[in-house]
Amino acid sequence: MSPFGDLEKLRSARSTATEDPPSEKGREYDMTTTAFSSQQTVQSLPMELLEGNVALITLENPEQPLVILDRSLLERLDRTLDELPDTCATLLIRSADEKVFVAGANLKEIDSLGDEELRRYLAEGTRIFRRISDLPCPSVALVNGAALGGGLELALHCTGIVATRVNTKSRAYPIGLPEAGLGLCPGWGGTQRLPGRVDVATAIEATAHGKPFTTEDVPEGLIDAFAGSADELVSTALSWVESNRDHVLVRTVQQMDPKATLEVVSGIRDAVGDNAAAMAVCEAVHAGVELGLDAGLAAERRLLVALRGTEETRNKLNAFFEGQR
Protein backbone atom coordinates (compact mmCIF):
# COMPACT_ATOMS: atom_id res chain seq x y z
CA MET A 1 0.00 0.00 0.00
CA SER A 2 1.15 3.54 -0.72
CA PRO A 3 2.60 5.23 2.39
CA PHE A 4 0.54 8.27 1.43
CA GLY A 5 -2.74 6.38 1.44
CA ASP A 6 -5.07 6.60 -1.52
CA LEU A 7 -4.82 9.14 -4.32
CA GLU A 8 -7.19 11.61 -2.65
CA LYS A 9 -5.02 11.68 0.48
CA LEU A 10 -1.95 12.23 -1.64
CA ARG A 11 -3.63 15.09 -3.45
CA SER A 12 -4.74 16.67 -0.17
CA ALA A 13 -1.14 16.54 1.02
CA ARG A 14 0.05 18.58 -1.96
CA SER A 15 -0.25 21.88 -0.13
CA THR A 16 2.19 20.71 2.55
CA ALA A 17 4.39 18.87 0.08
CA THR A 18 5.14 22.03 -1.88
CA GLU A 19 6.42 24.17 0.98
CA ASP A 20 9.60 23.96 3.00
CA PRO A 21 9.58 24.38 6.77
CA PRO A 22 9.67 28.05 7.88
CA SER A 23 13.29 27.62 8.98
CA GLU A 24 14.30 26.89 5.38
CA LYS A 25 12.39 29.65 3.66
CA GLY A 26 14.39 32.62 2.52
CA ARG A 27 17.73 30.84 2.63
CA GLU A 28 17.62 28.23 -0.12
CA TYR A 29 18.44 30.47 -3.07
CA ASP A 30 20.45 33.13 -1.28
CA MET A 31 23.37 33.36 -3.66
CA THR A 32 25.43 35.21 -1.07
CA THR A 33 25.57 32.05 1.03
CA THR A 34 28.61 29.92 0.32
CA ALA A 35 28.32 26.14 0.62
CA PHE A 36 27.08 24.47 3.80
CA SER A 37 26.92 26.44 7.01
CA SER A 38 29.12 23.84 8.75
CA GLN A 39 31.97 24.18 6.28
CA GLN A 40 35.45 25.09 7.43
CA THR A 41 38.21 25.13 4.83
CA VAL A 42 36.91 23.91 1.48
CA GLN A 43 39.27 23.19 -1.38
CA SER A 44 37.99 24.23 -4.78
CA LEU A 45 37.82 21.79 -7.67
CA PRO A 46 40.42 21.88 -10.46
CA MET A 47 39.59 24.70 -12.87
CA GLU A 48 41.37 25.59 -16.09
CA LEU A 49 40.94 28.84 -17.97
CA LEU A 50 40.97 28.17 -21.70
CA GLU A 51 41.26 30.52 -24.63
CA GLY A 52 38.17 32.63 -25.20
CA ASN A 53 37.34 33.10 -21.51
CA VAL A 54 36.23 29.49 -21.19
CA ALA A 55 36.34 27.95 -17.69
CA LEU A 56 36.69 24.17 -17.43
CA ILE A 57 35.80 22.65 -14.03
CA THR A 58 36.72 19.04 -13.30
CA LEU A 59 34.55 17.08 -10.86
CA GLU A 60 36.59 14.78 -8.66
CA ASN A 61 35.95 12.67 -5.61
CA PRO A 62 39.29 11.07 -4.64
CA GLU A 63 37.83 9.61 -1.44
CA GLN A 64 35.44 7.42 -3.44
CA PRO A 65 36.01 4.66 -6.04
CA LEU A 66 33.78 6.60 -8.47
CA VAL A 67 32.79 10.24 -8.73
CA ILE A 68 29.57 10.52 -6.73
CA LEU A 69 27.76 13.48 -5.30
CA ASP A 70 28.30 13.88 -1.60
CA ARG A 71 28.59 16.80 0.78
CA SER A 72 32.28 17.23 0.02
CA LEU A 73 31.84 17.43 -3.74
CA LEU A 74 28.88 19.81 -3.42
CA GLU A 75 30.88 22.08 -1.13
CA ARG A 76 33.83 22.06 -3.50
CA LEU A 77 31.62 22.82 -6.49
CA ASP A 78 30.07 25.71 -4.61
CA ARG A 79 33.47 27.12 -3.72
CA THR A 80 34.69 26.74 -7.30
CA LEU A 81 31.68 28.64 -8.63
CA ASP A 82 32.69 31.46 -6.27
CA GLU A 83 36.00 31.59 -8.11
CA LEU A 84 34.63 31.82 -11.65
CA PRO A 85 36.09 34.93 -13.27
CA ASP A 86 33.66 37.73 -14.06
CA THR A 87 34.82 37.52 -17.67
CA CYS A 88 33.77 33.86 -18.03
CA ALA A 89 32.05 33.47 -21.40
CA THR A 90 31.39 29.72 -21.21
CA LEU A 91 31.52 27.18 -18.38
CA LEU A 92 32.35 23.54 -19.11
CA ILE A 93 31.98 20.83 -16.45
CA ARG A 94 33.65 17.45 -16.89
CA SER A 95 34.50 14.46 -14.72
CA ALA A 96 37.93 13.30 -13.63
CA ASP A 97 36.58 9.74 -13.72
CA GLU A 98 37.07 7.94 -17.03
CA LYS A 99 34.28 5.49 -16.16
CA VAL A 100 31.46 7.85 -15.19
CA PHE A 101 30.41 11.47 -15.30
CA VAL A 102 28.75 11.25 -11.89
CA ALA A 103 27.39 7.90 -10.71
CA GLY A 104 24.65 9.43 -8.56
CA ALA A 105 24.40 10.65 -4.99
CA ASN A 106 26.00 9.06 -1.96
CA LEU A 107 22.96 7.16 -0.69
CA LYS A 108 24.67 6.06 2.50
CA GLU A 109 25.39 9.65 3.39
CA ILE A 110 21.83 10.67 2.56
CA ASP A 111 20.42 7.78 4.58
CA SER A 112 22.46 8.79 7.61
CA LEU A 113 20.73 12.18 7.86
CA GLY A 114 17.65 12.94 9.92
CA ASP A 115 14.56 14.20 8.14
CA GLU A 116 15.12 17.93 8.77
CA GLU A 117 18.83 17.64 8.02
CA LEU A 118 18.07 15.79 4.79
CA ARG A 119 15.64 18.49 3.68
CA ARG A 120 18.30 21.13 4.30
CA TYR A 121 20.90 19.02 2.50
CA LEU A 122 18.66 18.64 -0.56
CA ALA A 123 17.80 22.34 -0.54
CA GLU A 124 21.49 23.23 -0.39
CA GLY A 125 22.30 20.96 -3.31
CA THR A 126 19.52 22.63 -5.29
CA ARG A 127 20.89 26.07 -4.44
CA ILE A 128 24.34 25.09 -5.71
CA PHE A 129 22.99 23.55 -8.91
CA ARG A 130 20.87 26.61 -9.59
CA ARG A 131 23.96 28.75 -9.42
CA ILE A 132 24.92 26.98 -12.66
CA SER A 133 21.55 27.42 -14.37
CA ASP A 134 21.44 31.07 -13.30
CA LEU A 135 24.85 31.97 -14.71
CA PRO A 136 24.88 34.82 -17.23
CA CYS A 137 26.96 32.67 -19.58
CA PRO A 138 26.17 29.29 -21.19
CA SER A 139 27.29 26.13 -19.43
CA VAL A 140 27.81 22.63 -20.81
CA ALA A 141 28.16 19.26 -19.07
CA LEU A 142 30.74 17.04 -20.77
CA VAL A 143 29.46 13.50 -20.24
CA ASN A 144 31.86 10.61 -20.86
CA GLY A 145 30.18 7.84 -18.86
CA ALA A 146 27.22 7.03 -16.63
CA ALA A 147 25.25 10.09 -15.49
CA LEU A 148 22.73 8.87 -12.96
CA GLY A 149 20.46 10.44 -10.38
CA GLY A 150 22.07 13.55 -8.97
CA GLY A 151 24.72 13.33 -11.66
CA LEU A 152 22.15 13.81 -14.39
CA GLU A 153 20.40 16.46 -12.33
CA LEU A 154 23.65 18.42 -12.19
CA ALA A 155 23.99 18.11 -15.97
CA LEU A 156 20.36 19.16 -16.46
CA HIS A 157 21.15 22.48 -14.79
CA CYS A 158 23.64 23.22 -17.55
CA THR A 159 22.54 25.01 -20.70
CA GLY A 160 23.65 22.03 -22.77
CA ILE A 161 24.78 18.43 -22.45
CA VAL A 162 27.44 17.08 -24.79
CA ALA A 163 28.31 13.39 -24.55
CA THR A 164 30.25 10.54 -26.08
CA ARG A 165 28.22 7.63 -27.45
CA VAL A 166 30.35 5.02 -25.65
CA ASN A 167 32.49 4.85 -22.53
CA THR A 168 36.15 3.90 -22.29
CA LYS A 169 35.17 0.25 -22.80
CA SER A 170 33.44 1.15 -26.07
CA ARG A 171 30.04 0.39 -24.55
CA ALA A 172 26.86 2.41 -24.36
CA TYR A 173 26.26 3.72 -20.85
CA PRO A 174 23.22 4.75 -18.77
CA ILE A 175 21.87 8.27 -18.42
CA GLY A 176 18.81 8.76 -16.27
CA LEU A 177 17.02 9.04 -12.97
CA PRO A 178 16.86 5.61 -11.28
CA GLU A 179 15.67 6.81 -7.86
CA ALA A 180 12.16 5.34 -8.13
CA GLY A 181 13.69 1.90 -8.56
CA LEU A 182 14.87 2.25 -4.96
CA GLY A 183 11.54 3.59 -3.76
CA LEU A 184 12.64 7.23 -3.83
CA CYS A 185 12.08 10.21 -6.11
CA PRO A 186 14.60 12.71 -7.48
CA GLY A 187 15.55 15.44 -5.01
CA TRP A 188 17.61 17.93 -7.03
CA GLY A 189 15.24 19.00 -9.78
CA GLY A 190 15.04 15.95 -12.02
CA THR A 191 11.24 15.94 -12.12
CA GLN A 192 11.23 19.58 -13.20
CA ARG A 193 14.07 19.59 -15.73
CA LEU A 194 14.01 16.28 -17.59
CA PRO A 195 10.47 16.93 -18.96
CA GLY A 196 11.76 20.28 -20.19
CA ARG A 197 14.35 18.62 -22.43
CA VAL A 198 12.65 15.54 -23.83
CA ASP A 199 9.12 14.39 -24.63
CA VAL A 200 7.06 14.97 -21.48
CA ALA A 201 5.48 11.50 -21.38
CA THR A 202 8.81 9.79 -22.02
CA ALA A 203 10.51 11.80 -19.28
CA ILE A 204 7.85 11.29 -16.61
CA GLU A 205 7.35 7.59 -17.34
CA ALA A 206 11.08 6.88 -17.20
CA THR A 207 11.45 8.84 -13.95
CA ALA A 208 8.34 7.31 -12.36
CA HIS A 209 9.64 3.79 -13.04
CA GLY A 210 13.29 4.57 -12.29
CA LYS A 211 14.47 3.36 -15.70
CA PRO A 212 17.51 5.17 -17.11
CA PHE A 213 18.07 5.56 -20.81
CA THR A 214 21.30 4.54 -22.50
CA THR A 215 23.32 6.35 -25.11
CA GLU A 216 21.90 3.84 -27.60
CA ASP A 217 18.28 4.81 -26.95
CA VAL A 218 18.55 8.30 -25.48
CA PRO A 219 15.45 10.37 -26.33
CA GLU A 220 15.73 13.36 -28.59
CA GLY A 221 16.64 16.52 -26.70
CA LEU A 222 18.50 15.02 -23.76
CA ILE A 223 21.92 15.13 -25.43
CA ASP A 224 22.49 18.33 -27.39
CA ALA A 225 25.49 17.04 -29.33
CA PHE A 226 27.56 13.87 -29.48
CA ALA A 227 31.35 14.02 -29.58
CA GLY A 228 33.32 11.49 -31.58
CA SER A 229 35.51 10.70 -28.57
CA ALA A 230 36.26 11.92 -25.06
CA ASP A 231 39.12 14.00 -26.47
CA GLU A 232 36.62 15.88 -28.62
CA LEU A 233 34.17 16.78 -25.85
CA VAL A 234 35.56 20.27 -25.29
CA SER A 235 35.71 21.23 -28.96
CA THR A 236 32.25 19.78 -29.62
CA ALA A 237 30.82 21.70 -26.67
CA LEU A 238 32.34 24.98 -27.79
CA SER A 239 31.01 24.49 -31.32
CA TRP A 240 27.54 23.77 -29.93
CA VAL A 241 27.67 26.88 -27.71
CA GLU A 242 28.68 29.06 -30.63
CA SER A 243 25.81 27.70 -32.72
CA ASN A 244 23.24 28.21 -29.97
CA ARG A 245 24.46 31.28 -28.11
CA ASP A 246 21.56 33.42 -29.33
CA HIS A 247 18.88 30.75 -28.98
CA VAL A 248 16.35 30.60 -26.16
CA LEU A 249 16.30 26.95 -25.05
CA VAL A 250 13.35 25.28 -23.29
CA ARG A 251 14.77 23.54 -20.24
CA THR A 252 12.11 23.12 -17.50
CA VAL A 253 8.64 21.63 -17.38
CA GLN A 254 7.22 25.08 -16.56
CA GLN A 255 7.93 26.07 -20.17
CA MET A 256 5.89 23.21 -21.59
CA ASP A 257 2.15 23.36 -22.34
CA PRO A 258 0.57 23.04 -18.85
CA LYS A 259 -2.73 21.47 -19.90
CA ALA A 260 -1.06 18.81 -22.02
CA THR A 261 1.53 18.10 -19.31
CA LEU A 262 -1.11 17.66 -16.60
CA GLU A 263 -3.04 15.28 -18.85
CA VAL A 264 0.11 13.18 -19.22
CA VAL A 265 0.68 13.26 -15.46
CA SER A 266 -2.90 12.19 -14.79
CA GLY A 267 -2.64 9.24 -17.16
CA ILE A 268 0.64 8.01 -15.72
CA ARG A 269 -0.59 8.47 -12.17
CA ASP A 270 -3.67 6.37 -12.87
CA ALA A 271 -1.52 3.69 -14.47
CA VAL A 272 1.00 3.27 -11.64
CA GLY A 273 -1.58 2.34 -9.04
CA ASP A 274 -0.21 2.36 -5.51
CA ASN A 275 3.45 2.60 -6.52
CA ALA A 276 4.39 5.30 -4.01
CA ALA A 277 7.62 6.42 -5.67
CA ALA A 278 5.95 6.74 -9.07
CA MET A 279 3.07 8.68 -7.54
CA ALA A 280 5.56 10.99 -5.82
CA VAL A 281 7.22 11.74 -9.16
CA CYS A 282 3.85 12.59 -10.65
CA GLU A 283 2.95 14.79 -7.70
CA ALA A 284 6.24 16.71 -7.93
CA VAL A 285 5.67 17.36 -11.63
CA HIS A 286 2.06 18.34 -10.95
CA ALA A 287 3.13 20.79 -8.24
CA GLY A 288 5.74 22.32 -10.52
CA VAL A 289 3.26 22.83 -13.36
CA GLU A 290 0.51 24.22 -11.15
CA LEU A 291 2.56 26.30 -8.73
CA GLY A 292 5.95 26.92 -10.34
CA LEU A 293 9.51 25.64 -10.20
CA ASP A 294 10.19 26.38 -6.54
CA ALA A 295 7.03 24.53 -5.50
CA GLY A 296 8.00 21.54 -7.63
CA LEU A 297 11.45 21.44 -6.06
CA ALA A 298 10.01 21.68 -2.56
CA ALA A 299 7.62 18.83 -3.39
CA GLU A 300 10.54 16.66 -4.46
CA ARG A 301 12.26 17.19 -1.11
CA ARG A 302 9.20 16.57 1.03
CA LEU A 303 8.18 13.47 -0.89
CA LEU A 304 11.70 12.02 -0.95
CA VAL A 305 11.96 12.39 2.82
CA ALA A 306 8.52 10.81 3.29
CA LEU A 307 9.35 7.89 1.00
CA ARG A 308 12.64 7.16 2.70
CA GLY A 309 10.94 6.10 5.91
CA THR A 310 8.48 3.64 4.37
CA GLU A 311 8.89 -0.11 4.76
CA GLU A 312 9.04 -0.73 1.02
CA THR A 313 11.79 1.82 0.46
CA ARG A 314 13.74 0.72 3.53
CA ASN A 315 13.77 -2.83 2.21
CA LYS A 316 14.99 -1.68 -1.20
CA LEU A 317 17.69 0.54 0.27
CA ASN A 318 18.89 -2.16 2.66
CA ALA A 319 19.14 -4.64 -0.22
CA PHE A 320 21.05 -2.03 -2.25
CA PHE A 321 23.50 -1.37 0.58
CA GLU A 322 23.94 -5.10 1.17
CA GLY A 323 24.79 -5.58 -2.50
CA GLN A 324 27.54 -2.96 -2.25
CA ARG A 325 29.41 -4.85 0.45
Q: What is the pLDDT of residues 212-265, one digit of tens each?
A: 999 999 999 999 999 999 999 999 999 999 999 877 676 899 999 999 999 999
Q: Is the domain 7-320 a CATH 3.90.226.10 member?
A: yes
Summarize the confidence of residues 113-137 as an average pLDDT.
97
- Beta pairing, strands 160-164 & 90-95: unpaired
- What pLDDT, on the 0 to 100 scale, is given for residue 258? 97
Domain layout of the chain by residue ranges: 7-320
* CB proximity list for 322: less than 8 A, separation 6 or greater: none
Contact 280, 208 (CB under 8 A): no
Q: What is the pLDDT of residue 235?
A: 98
What is the value of pTM for the model shown?
A: 0.89
Q: What letter represents residue 160's amino acid?
A: G
Query: Please, what is the average pLDDT of the chain?
Result: 89
Residue 260 CA, distance from chain mean position: 24
pLDDT bin (cut points 50, 70, 90) of residue 33 is: very low
Choice between 33 and 137, residue whose per-residue pLDDT is larger: 137
